[in-house]
Copies of this chain bind each other. A is one copy, B any other.
Amino acid sequence: MSNIDQLLQQSPQNLPVLQATFGLERESLRIDQKTQRLAQTPHPHKLGSRSYHPYIQTDYSEPQLELITPVAKSSKEVLRFLGAITDVAQRSIDNDQYLWPLSMPPQLREDEIEIARLEDPFELSYRQHLAEKYGKMLQSMSGIHYNIELGADLLKLLFERSGCQSLIAFKNDLYLKLAQNFLSYRWFLTYLYGASPIAEQGFFEKGLTAPVRSLRNSHLGYVNTEDVSVPFDSLENYISSIEHYVSTGALSAEKEFYSAVRLRGSKHNRDYLTKGITYLEFRCFDLNPFDNRGITQETIDSIHLFILAMLWLDAPQAVSLSLDKAAGLNEKIALSHPLEKLPQEAPYQDVLTAMEELIRHFQLPAYYEQLLADIKGQISNPRLTVGGHLLEHIDNLSLETFGQQKGKEYHDYAWQAYYALKGYENMELSTQMLLFDAIQKGIHFDILDESDQFLKLWHAKHIEYVKNGNMTSKDNYVVPLAMANKVVTKKILREHGYPVPAGAEFDSKDEALRYYQQVEKQAIVVKPKSTNFGLGISIFDTPTSLTDYEKALDIAFLEDSSVLVEEFIAGTEYRFFVLDGKCEAVLLRVAANVVGDGRQTIQQLVDQKNQNPLRGRDHRSPLEIIDLGDIELLMLQQQGCTPESILPAGVKVNLRGNSNISTGGDSIDITEEMDSSYKQLAADMAKAMGAWACGVDLIIPDTSLKATKENPHCTCIELNFNPSMYMHTYCQEGPGQVITGKILAKLFPEVIANI
């Protein structure tokens, strides 16, 4: 190991030492809120098939979820992944279930534990074998596995400095050293993060008399039988030893070897000799019940710092002896009282010094100095460790009440902004929804560009790219370009025989003025050709004078060099969402408003309306907070009101002239109520345009009349190539319609048969 030891210490300061990729796996039990016991329902159908689901699996038993993050390029990203997957898991299980926040399960009986109903017969029989060998109770303990691979640049630079001939041999040496040191100092982490202090009544035959740091990390945890002892002194010995136990039947498979650290990258250990170890899996972390994800950012980064310290330190000389000694120390600490300090014989100062030197040598950001300071504080004061905090919640050697309370708290947190995806709130709501659906159904995802809402989704070899949740390979390029152009859209619709407002386009005011003769007796709309935000639009719902017409032209020409003069269409505007030839949703948008109750002031009514969890700010919620700003106050004044006016019961007051959701308008899902003839017509219009995903804005004077192509009884005023989806799903009124899930199902019909 001589060319591995001291390697970090001799590296230049600008080595990208923090570069690494991370993966987390978290186990958690589903609990029934009514019984407060293990859920007896099967793994949720909503979560798709366990035969391929990359993110949400079942572990040992049917109600034990295993949440698996994708490989993350940073420690921040990995926790974000875990948060999102936790969020999806919580909202995909029955609403009256929650995830048990502790490593040790609540009270349970062996017969309540159903082995996971996996499709793979080998996996099923493997679990049955484990049940017989270790008992089902032990299997119900949950924890977090922490996977780390050192960064490619970092490895390459270290390799170059090592003098090694083979990168594979170098990586094997490096990761084996890391594993050895990790096992040597594992007790350090047991002290800091141990959080399985008690077992609920009935878990062990003989109950504990006092809380400890970590049952799970002691011999009472889920460990191999005593006859299994695998050496870590060399890779060859490690491999041969496990193969030996498998051949004698002491282990039923290589993966039955439970160690706090596992070599990873190949299915069979022997392959490491030729292919190299790719990464390490650390399996010793208890769930931190104070975080809904079971682990905090600081813990992830502190462990990362610890792992780097393990690289900084020299490898143990007499490996087996050292590891045996360390195992004894770990057992002692795991079973010590949570308020007990580290024992004198524990060489924690070695770790702290390594961390200090590392931070100094590589000039790590101040954040890591803070992490180290916190660790030192926890070593001085056991009360500051997770185990120390948890002690305060132990009641009569039980954590059931605490676990129930935290579980409910995290359940409610997940359902609080149920339209958003935790950790991804900065992305557009529709993209958050699509990501939620992808995680739920087990479609792989990668955010290629976060601010651009650009996703890569895939299943097996089938890749789909998606932007803004609805821009996909299913639409051909020229169609949205056509829809982006009002004039082109109208021409195409008209050519196909669909009703659009009559009108004309003008590039000069003179020309447009001459046109007045033709429209002087009509209600008209004057608008710039290409702006989209309502700027420069004048609406005359009765015939207007030449003077006002000219003013409207001036306003419109300020916005664009082309101006449209169209007939004004009277009626109510509805948004039809069409996907793949079918109208999936119909929405009515109405202006921001309140309805009186004869008691409250307008201000109070507004405040009450803003309590709706659907209302937020900046398009990150399905509805916007209503502000009583200048425009609203003017609108009230015109109606003879002030914010202090008390409205009679049932009287509605509009606070805005426009019906945009972005200015506090209400969304009303009327998909069921709308006559199917209009839905068909909207779908036909989208088809005529060639659009796959499309918002169709129809003005309908009287929805009781049936629409036909010959007598449409409506007019199409716009097609939208990037239609908002969330507003159809989460509405002020009406049931709401699933949209993003349908898009995903159409992108991956081989995964999602129907929705």
Contacts and interface: CB of A to CB of B under 8 A. Distances in A.
Interface of A: 13-14, 16, 153, 365, 448-449, 451-452, 454, 456, 464-467, 471-482, 485, 487-488, 491-492, 514, 517-518, 520, 561-562, 690
A473 B478 contact: yes
Given A14-B520, A476-B477, A477-B479, A487 B448 contact: yes
A295 B479 CA distance: 39
A487 B449 contact: yes
Contacts of A456: 491-492
A481 B448 CA distance: 12
Contact of A488 (B16, B448, B562): B448
A488 B480 CA distance: 20
Contacts of A452: 485, 487-488
Nearest to A691: B477
14 contacts: A16-B518, A448-B482, A448-B487, A448-B492, A454-B481, A454-B485, A465-B478, A465-B488, A466-B478, A467-B481, A471-B481, A473-B479, A475-B477, A477-B477
A464 to B, nearest CB: 8
A461 to B, nearest CB: 12
B14 A517 contact: yes
B517 A473 contact: no
Contacts of A465: 478-479, 481-482, 488, 492
A451 B563 CA distance: 13
A88 to B, nearest CB: 24
Nearest to A446: B491
Nearest to A476: B473
A475 B476 contact: yes
Task: Give the interface SS of chain A, mostly helix, strand, loop or mixed.
Answer: mixed
Max chain B C-beta neighbours (<10 A), residue from A465, A474, A480, A520? A465
A467 B448 CA distance: 27
**Taking the full assembly, how many copies of this chain does it contain?**
2
Contacts of A488: 448-449, 452, 454, 465
B472 A478 contact: yes
A708 to B, nearest CB: 23
A609 to B, nearest CB: 34
10 tightest Cβ-Cβ pairs between the two chains A and B: A14-B517, A475-B477, A473-B476, A448-B488, A465-B478, A467-B481, A449-B488, A454-B488, A477-B477, A448-B491
Given A476-B476, A520-B14, A690-B473, A451 B562 contact: yes
A562 B517 CA distance: 52
Given A14-B518, A474-B476, 11 more contacts: A14-B517, A448-B485, A456-B491, A465-B481, A465-B488, A467-B478, A467-B482, A472-B476, A472-B478, A473-B476, A473-B477
Nearest to A510: B365
Contacts of A365: 514
B487 A477 contact: no
A478 B477 CA distance: 8
Contacts of A466: 478
A518 B153 contact: yes
A449 B505 CA distance: 10
A158 to B, nearest CB: 15
A454 B483 CA distance: 11
Contacts of A479: 465, 473, 477
Contacts of A561: 451
A664 to B, nearest CB: 28
Contacts of A518: 14, 16, 153
A625 to B, nearest CB: 26
Contacts of A520: 14
A541 to B, nearest CB: 22
Nearest to A689: B465
Contacts of A475: 476-477
A465 B465 CA distance: 24
B472 A477 contact: yes
A426 to B, nearest CB: 11
Nearest to A692: B477
Nearest to A473: B476
Contacts of A481: 454, 465, 467, 471
Given A473-B476, A478-B467, A449 B14 contact: no
A479 B471 CA distance: 10
A503 to B, nearest CB: 12
Nearest to A502: B153
A465 B481 CA distance: 10
Contacts of A690: 473
A192 to B, nearest CB: 28
Contacts of A467: 478, 481-482
Nearest to A530: B452
A548 to B, nearest CB: 18
Nearest to A472: B478
A473 B690 CA distance: 9
A480 B477 contact: yes
Nearest to A19: B518
A456 B517 CA distance: 31
A16 B517 contact: yes
Nearest to A514: B365
Contacts of A478: 464-467, 471-473
Nearest to A491: B448
A561 B426 CA distance: 15
A492 B520 CA distance: 56
A452 B473 CA distance: 23
A485 B452 CA distance: 8
A168 to B, nearest CB: 20
A375 to B, nearest CB: 23
